[in-house]
Chain A
Amino acid sequence: MSNRLTLRIAVFGGVAVVLFAILFFRLWLIQVIDGDKYLAEAKNNRTRSYRTSAPRGEILDRNGNVLVANRTSLALQVNPRKLPEDPRQRRAELARLADLTHSTLPRVRRLMRKELKLAPAAPVTLRRDVGHFLVYYLKENQARFPGVEVQRVFVRDYPDGTLAAHLLGTVGEVTEEELKEPRYRELQPADEIGQDGVEDTYDRYLRGTPGLTKVQVDALGQPTPNGRLVTQAPVPGDDLKLTIDEKVQVAGEAALAERGLPGAFITMDVHTGEILGLGSFPTFEPASLTPPLTQAQVDETYRNPAAPLADRAISALYPTGSTFKPITAIAALESGHVTLGEVIEDPGVLIIGGQEFKNAGEAANGSVDLVEALEVSSDVFFYTLGWRMWNTGQLQHWAHKLGIGRPTGIDLPGGAEGLLPSQHWRNQLYREGGTDRPWSAGDNVQLATGQGDLQTNPLQMAVAYAALGNGGTIVTPHLGLEVDDAAGRVLKEFESRSRRHVRMDPTYRAAILEGLHDAAQGGRGTAVDVFGGFPIPVAGKTGTAQRTGHEDQSWYGVLAPYPDPRIVTFVTMEEGGFGSESAAPAALKILKAYFAGRLAREASAAGKAGEEGTGG
């Protein structure tokens, strides 16, 4: 063999050695060095995890009546990643689906775009509550509908329709922004969370733990015949018992609806802050807010000028009118600007710095003391008090202590803080050029009767009245009573916490309550027409607030029973006129519902007494 051939064979051998060295090195790299990485990938490869949603806990009233339950529903879903890639086929399939769901192609596409922006990984629900016929049809024609799935989902069920809609809130898919919040850390796209109301506040109790089903699959994603299933059953959420008393809630909402004006009511235990009823009008159907919404539903809820979604009891801001007077009274008494029994002449008008402040209806009440002034709702009396205190800050000090213009700590999202106008506030605003004049006596005079710049709501007023009723404790209004497991065992009780205590002279407090009692049920009382015939003694105050651009707003705040109140009720109705005209009758209906048992007992006792009387 020639030397040249030997060289060539040697080069050939050298190439073979190099090639084998490459293969061995590569093999070693993949299997020995990076093996664990690939093993993890292989393990991940062979299983698919399916999440099964857990039903949320039910929401009950304090007596165990169901306010929100669940029902299962068949939802038609489209998995966009499994749709045909060819745009024409895709379009054709979506058009067929639009037909089946009584929709149109553009609307289906718009819906998909919107939903995918919210949760890109999740299947899009085209329609909920699809009938069984449609499901059978889809199953039989599955080949024509790739990517279409019918999923059994849990849907919130509201047995009483609109009842307590505002405080319950709704449930919806978690958004991408929400997923970044720590409280939703464990969630995944397409999971449902409470979006408002107690569904939001108590979400962590109500929300269950989704189940996890792990299936071994082959490369096509088909479950393998012997594929082991690792299943973790979904854990349903716990039930939430609210402080709400269904009959009070029903009565309050009915009273608002009957009058048909935008407004709100709240009924609260004065000692604990437990809210027995809280409602706003106009209201909405929470069931109709589960997406996808029809255009009509969107118009009715989101674009409605009457704003049915707004909870006027906690988030609206109004002046209160004369219902503010008890606060003025306690401030003036405690700061020594008036004494019990001090008589002020009420000619029907008070002139301060050339500005006239008139009584409502320009009525002259003559000489009145504090109790009488509350009974007849003498504006001049309280104008005078406001004038006396105008640059002392005492009125603001006491109103602030009682919680006006401050967060109440209620366990609902979206509460409004409001505004308690003060010398400091207005002067600051004036210096910044936000207003044309500094604080004046007139501002305080206005505030003394709940007018002017005051911005508050029934919730804050109820807390202030509750403090008058219970001797100075500022309660934390709340709706959560306890968390129960599915078997009804109590898992957690929410304690009633007071926020602070306001020291007030019991004689002052008694005098104010007496004035309020007279106002409701005394001879010259402003609401005697409404409450005069009510057998249970109460202490209440009408309010007629002037709002620029609106008719007068009707207010009524009442503590019952007098003289040791257990509950406070506040009602307001926009453009409802005098307090005794709209709000007071509504408050009466609520009290009747609350005291229904006692009223029935007294009526039967009276009936017996009457029978005995006639018999004797």
Chain B
Amino acid sequence: MYATRARRARPEPFAVHPGIAERLGLPYMDGPMAIAAFALAAFSVFVLAQATVNDVPGDPYYFADRQAIYAVLGLAGMYALARVDYSRFRELRVGIYTFLCVSVALVFVFGFAARGSRRAFELPLFSFQPSELGKVLLVLALAGFVIDGARKGSEVQRTVRYLCLGLAPAALVFLQPDLGTALVFGAITLAVMYVGGVRWTHFAVIGAALVALTAAVLVVAPAIGTPILKGYQEQRLTSFVNPSADPANAGYQQNQAKIAIGSGEVTGRGDRATQTRLDFVPERHTDFIFAVIGERYGFLGAAFVLSLYALLIWRALRTVTLSKNSYGTLVAGGIAAMLLFQVFVNVGMNLGIMPITGIPLPLMSYGGSSVLATLLAVGILQSIHMQARLSQRSRFAW
């Protein structure tokens, strides 16, 4: 009796007495994706706490503490973004794009130089690197432009327009100079265009142009005396082909990273991980953090981290297919490509199969801008997921 009455009292399964999880929107989020992102951020803090104890005198957990704060801020931002309907960003595309270009350009004026390149603003608490957040902004703006311009001009005109829109901020970043992030911008541009339906033949032409450009930059330009890349950039890009040719410089770093990872064998060396502990591997808390993981925790640890990335990217790709509108599809595709590109290039560089380009490992590498930007990107994915689920629910409800 009582039970029947209760059922009758709640004819709609939703909306009347939503539970706490319901209020937080958790059932509509992608659980595995959130878990993967959280696990990676947490593991990053754990690794930094173990591996950088002696790095800052007097403050053994300097990097770990800061990374933990960034992760918490980022997770909060992720949740906040998840609750926002991402479709609004489509309307804001011009503003977002302008903000992106201006912030990246302002670095030239106000930025401070770290190791010869101007990439970040010095803020009271931390330095902010606009190009990191720029990766996400570029996805949001470019996806908007692609949807918006779908019917303007011929196909060739459209392809050229998208390319120009994507490559303008990439060029600014390249001039900072920050080759790695510029490459990520390029990858995002191509991915959004790809998901946006640009013809295969156009990609073939772009591919051919890329090959020609690479050849021109690496071979022809230095030969005629106007090098485009800085010396160290070119050396890093080419030395991975034959790292032992110059073991003291660019190839040295890569060799040491490879030795570090290899020496971890199956189960890792723990605190006896001398390669990464004794400075043989440079930048071990940022670009080469994967080498630290490989040496300390062995194949088991490294494969675990790679699996988390595989999970994250799989869920991102799944979100592409779920999206309720094309804008979401493009945004999710861009973010998935951004993650995939960064993970592959960074881990590949640690493993000696990709050139050293200064691309951080998303969520693992130490750095507030990168962690925040990546978690915000995951937040947008969650938003797409949530909107898709909500629209599905309403479809079934009405």
Query: Using a CB–CB distance below 8 Å, which chain A residues touch chain B?
Result: 1, 4-6, 8-9, 12-13, 15-16, 19-20, 22-24, 26-28, 30-32, 34-39, 41-43, 45-46, 216-220, 224
Contacts of A37 in B (CB 8 A): 262
Contact A219 B278 (CB under 8 A): yes
Contact B258 A23 (CB under 8 A): no
**Which residue on chain B has the smallest CB distance to residue A19?**
B344
Contact A5 B197 (CB under 8 A): yes
**Which residue on chain A has the smallest CB distance to residue B265?**
A35
17 A-B interface contacts by CB (under 8 A): A1-B329, A9-B317, A9-B321, A12-B337, A16-B313, A16-B336, A20-B309, A23-B306, A24-B306, A27-B294, A30-B258, A35-B266, A38-B259, A39-B263, A39-B269, A43-B263, A45-B280
Q: How many residues of B contact A (CB 8 A)?
A: 46
Contact B261 A219 (CB under 8 A): no
Contacts of A32 in B (CB 8 A): 265-266, 299
Give chain B nearest CB distance to A39 CB in angstroms: 4
Give the distance in Å from the alpha carbon of A14 to the alpha carbon of B260 in the complex: 30
- The interface centre, meaning the residue of B256, B262, B340 with most chain A CB atoms within 10 A of its CB, is B262
Contacts of A45 in B (CB 8 A): 256, 259, 274-275, 280
Contacts of B265 in A (CB 8 A): 31-32, 35-36, 39
Contact B299 A31 (CB under 8 A): yes
Q: A9-B321, A27-B294 are in contact. Are A38 and B344 (CB under 8 A)?
A: no
Q: A38-B258, A45-B280 are in contact. Are A30 and B351 (CB under 8 A)?
A: yes
Contacts of B333 in A (CB 8 A): 9, 12
Give the distance in Å from the alpha carbon of A22 to the alpha carbon of B195 in the complex: 24
B245 on interface, CB distance cutoff 8 Å: no
Give the distance in Å from the alpha carbon of A43 to the alpha carbon of B274 in the complex: 8
Q: In terms of DSSP, what is the predominant structure of the interface of chain A? A: helix
Q: A5-B197, A38-B258, A41-B263 are in contact. Are A31 and B294 (CB under 8 A)?
A: yes
- For B302, give its contact among A22, A31, A41 (CB under 8 Å): A31
- For A220, give its contact among B279, B302, B314, B337 (CB under 8 Å): B279
Contacts of B147 in A (CB 8 A): none
Contacts of A15 in B (CB 8 A): 340
B264 on interface, CB distance cutoff 8 Å: yes
Give the distance in Å from the alpha carbon of A32 to the alpha carbon of B263 in the complex: 9
Give chain A nearest CB distance to B398 CB in angstroms: 22
**Which residue on chain B has the smallest CB distance to residue A13?**
B317
Give chain A nearest CB distance to B216 CB in angstroms: 26
Give chain A nearest CB distance to B177 CB in angstroms: 25
**Which residue on chain A has the smallest CB distance to residue B262?**
A38
Give the distance in Å from the alpha carbon of A1 to the alpha carbon of B337 in the complex: 19
Q: Across the A-B interface, give the 3 residue pairs with the lowest CB-CB distance, nearest first.
A: A38-B262, A35-B265, A42-B263
Contact A30 B275 (CB under 8 A): no
Contact A35 B195 (CB under 8 A): no
Q: A37-B262, A46-B274 are in contact. Are A16 and B340 (CB under 8 A)?
A: yes
Contact B274 A42 (CB under 8 A): yes
**Which residue on chain B has the smallest CB distance to residue A41?**
B259
Contacts of A217 in B (CB 8 A): 278
Contact B278 A218 (CB under 8 A): yes
Contacts of B194 in A (CB 8 A): 8, 12
**Which residue on chain A has the smallest CB distance to residue B332?**
A9
- For A42, give its contact among B259, B282, B303, B348 (CB under 8 Å): B259
Query: Using a CB–CB distance below 8 Å, which chain B residues touch chain A?
Result: 191, 194-195, 197, 256, 258-266, 269, 274-275, 278-280, 282, 294-295, 298-299, 302-303, 306, 309-310, 313-314, 317, 320-321, 329, 333, 336-337, 340, 344, 347-348, 351-353
> Known contacts A30-B351, A31-B264, A39-B265; can you find 13 more A-B pairs with CB under 8 A?
A1-B321, A8-B194, A9-B320, A16-B340, A30-B261, A31-B262, A31-B299, A35-B265, A37-B262, A38-B262, A42-B295, A216-B278, A218-B279
Give chain A nearest CB distance to B58 CB in angstroms: 14
Contacts of B306 in A (CB 8 A): 20, 23-24, 27
Contacts of A5 in B (CB 8 A): 195, 197, 329
Contact B299 A219 (CB under 8 A): no
Contact B195 A8 (CB under 8 A): yes
Contacts of B344 in A (CB 8 A): 19-20, 22-23
Contact A23 B266 (CB under 8 A): no
**Which residue on chain A has the smallest CB distance to residue B345?**
A19
Contacts of B353 in A (CB 8 A): 22, 26
Contact A38 B317 (CB under 8 A): no
Q: A12-B333, A220-B279, A224-B278 are in contact. Are A30 and B262 (CB under 8 A)?
A: yes
Give chain A nearest CB distance to B269 CB in angstroms: 8
- For B261, give its contact among A22, A31, A224 (CB under 8 Å): A31
- The interface centre, meaning the residue of A27, A28, A37 with most chain B CB atoms within 10 A of its CB, is A27
**Which residue on chain A has the smallest CB distance to residue B344?**
A19
Give the distance in Å from the alpha carbon of A46 to the alpha carbon of B294 in the complex: 18
Give the distance in Å from the alpha carbon of A41 to the alpha carbon of B340 in the complex: 31
**Which residue on chain A has the smallest CB distance to residue B329?**
A5
Give the distance in Å from the alpha carbon of A172 to the alpha carbon of B194 in the complex: 73
Q: A22-B353, A23-B351, A35-B264 are in contact. Are A12 and B195 (CB under 8 A)?
A: yes
Contact A31 B340 (CB under 8 A): no
Contacts of B317 in A (CB 8 A): 9, 12-13, 16
**Which residue on chain B has the smallest CB distance to residue A40?**
B263
Contact B260 A26 (CB under 8 A): no
- For B336, give its contact among A12, A34, A38, A216 (CB under 8 Å): A12
Give the distance in Å from the alpha carbon of A586 to the alpha carbon of B348 in the complex: 85
Contacts of A8 in B (CB 8 A): 194-195, 197
- For A28, give its contact among B197, B259, B299 (CB under 8 Å): B299
Contacts of A16 in B (CB 8 A): 310, 313-314, 317, 336, 340
Give the distance in Å from the alpha carbon of A26 to the alpha carbon of B294 in the complex: 12
Contacts of B295 in A (CB 8 A): 42
**Which residue on chain A has the smallest CB distance to residue B322?**
A1
Give the distance in Å from the alpha carbon of A32 to the alpha carbon of B317 in the complex: 30
Contact A34 B262 (CB under 8 A): yes
**Which residue on chain B has the smallest CB distance to residue A224?**
B278
Contact B298 A31 (CB under 8 A): yes
Give chain A nearest CB distance to B48 CB in angstroms: 19
- For A219, give its contact among B256, B262, B298, B320 (CB under 8 Å): B256
Contacts of A218 in B (CB 8 A): 278-280
Give the distance in Å from the alpha carbon of A351 to the alpha carbon of B175 in the complex: 110
Give chain B nearest CB distance to A147 CB in angstroms: 16
- The interface centre, meaning the residue of B256, B260, B265, B340 with most chain A CB atoms within 10 A of its CB, is B265
- For A27, give its contact among B195, B279, B329, B351 (CB under 8 Å): B351
Give chain A nearest CB distance to B26 CB in angstroms: 26
Give the distance in Å from the alpha carbon of A15 to the alpha carbon of B190 in the complex: 14
Give chain A nearest CB distance to B261 CB in angstroms: 5
Give the distance in Å from the alpha carbon of A70 to the alpha carbon of B19 in the complex: 91
Give the distance in Å from the alpha carbon of A38 to the alpha carbon of B337 in the complex: 33
Contact A23 B275 (CB under 8 A): no
Contact B340 A19 (CB under 8 A): yes
Contacts of B336 in A (CB 8 A): 12, 16
